[in-house]
A = this chain, B = another copy of it.
Amino acid sequence: MKKSPRSEIPRKAVYRLSVYLRCLQRLKQNGLRTVSSEALARAAGVKSTQLRKDLTYFGQFGTRGLGYDVEQLAQMITDTLGTNSLQPVILVGVGNLGSALLSYRGFEQEGFGIIGAFDLEPAKVKRGRGGPPLHGMEKLFEIIRAARVKMAIITVPAAAAQAVANQLVAAGVTGILNFAPIVLHVPEDVTVNSVNLAIELENLSYFIQT
């Protein structure tokens, strides 16, 4: 298997891989077997040359004159992203946003299972029925280790986020999806993706000014 040097692949290209995958899934549902870079790129909202360039970072998957096999390309993307097997994920901070995300089913649809939620005061949290078990913070380390959890979602207030991140990293987490409005400092081998909903709106606010 050709293992490309991971560091030379643009982060954005990896991100777009996920977008392509969504489009391929839709195409498959519509019964399409093959697709050209032109058509897939249009669906994904990018230029066809960019799509082809992105794919070459990971290998060669097309047939010249014909296009890409929908099924096969989707398979290679899930292989590459590592979303074949179900990844266990935990969530820390069951406040407004945290409980919101717990009731959101969108993660599971894509192969991620939230196997546990953590909060400083689990007793105070109002929980709907269903959903993952809720623990106090003292269980964090133990559960992460036991389930070999590599990915975590942080939805605690800004003031607590860095401390939580430190605990997660110490327990073995190497991927963090951070919703706290703060820049997290972590070791090099840990990846942080930050989503800040207020900033997304604020950003729009700039562009709608006439």
Contact = CB atoms under 8 A, between A and B. Distances in A.
Task: Count identical subunits in the complex.
Answer: 2
A104 B155 CA distance: 11
B202 A83 contact: yes
Interface string A181-210: 111010000010101111111111111110
A30 B168 CA distance: 27
Contacts of A89: 201
Given A43-B183, A97-B104, A110 B177 contact: no
A182 B185 CA distance: 32
B105 A96 contact: yes
Interface residues on A, range: 35 or more
A173 to B, nearest CB: 9
A183 B22 CA distance: 10
Contacts of A182: 22
Interface of A: 14-15, 17-19, 21-22, 26, 43-45, 80-83, 87, 89, 96-97, 99-101, 103-107, 109-110, 112, 150-151, 153, 158, 174-177, 181-183, 185, 191, 193, 195-209
